[in-house]
Structure 1
Amino acid sequence: MSVIRVTGHIDVPSDRLSAVQEAMAEHISLTHEEEGCLFFSITPCPDVAGRFLVSEAFKSQEDFDQHQIRTHKSHWGKVTSGIARNFTIQEDGKGGDN
């Protein structure tokens, strides 16, 4: 099994910050309920205003893909549409025993 890990950040423009923050708790909660979610957090960056640090882990590529599909259709997806993300996606354990 390959674990999919995502790390990075999202920089939210000041005019959208309130709406994003209001949608964040529900997005985090729904993600924690997803099958295959091992870890998920979004936290404010202490050094950059409007930046949120993102860390995610899913049991498999399929679980991560399902998360992306759900997110895209969700209120969070609408609220954050067009906001650039700076993420690194890493697959752990590919091709070998863990």
Structure 2
Amino acid sequence: MTVTLKGHIEVPADRLEQIRAGLVDHIRLTRAEPGCLRFDVTEDPAIAGRFNVAEAFTDSDAFRAHQARAQASDWARISAGIPRDYRVTGLTD
């Protein structure tokens, strides 16, 4: 079953440039992961500092592998403490 994640992150103005720079590698690495069907992070044109996130992975194992890689990456350090509002569907035990 496909696993999807949709939501957003809220980036404070003083961290915008760091987040924008860090996203380049995070997006590239994630899209190269086995099982990644979609990974988009885009700045919201209407809400300053909001980045909309949309992900899709082939299954729960691929999604969990992504989460593990991301938590051990530079992205985790760069984005530490950034508020996130995500909804995940399709995740199974």
**Does the pair score TM above 0.5?**
yes
Q: Tell me the distance in 1 between the aligned counterparts of 2:74 and 2:19.
A: 10
- TM norm structure 2: 0.94
Q: Secondary structure at the match of 2:90?
A: strand
Query: Cα offset for 1:15?
Result: 1.1
Code of the aligned partner of 1:80 = S
Q: Percent identity?
A: 39
Asked if 1:80 corresponds to 2:74, the answer is: no
RMSD: 1.2
Deviation per residue, 1:57-91 (Å, 9 max, x gap) = 00111110110011011111110011111011011
Q: How far apart are residue 11 of structure 1 and its match?
A: 0.4
Give the 4+ runs in structure 1 shifted more than 4 A.
Answer: none
TM-score after normalising by structure 1: 0.90
Counterpart Cα distance in 2 of 1:39 and 1:83:
22
Instruction: Please list every run of 5 or more consecutive structure 1 residues that lacks an aligned counterpart in the other structure.
Output: none
Give ranges in structure 2 of 5+ residues lacking alignment. Answer: none
Could you report, residue by residue, the CA deviation over 1:34-63 in whole angstroms, capped at 9, with x for unpaired residues? 000000000000111010000000011111
The number of equivalent residue pairs is: 92
Query: For residues 56 and 87 of structure 1, what CA distance do their matches in structure 2 show?
Result: 10
Query: How far apart are the structure 1 equivalents of 2:7 and 2:49?
Result: 14
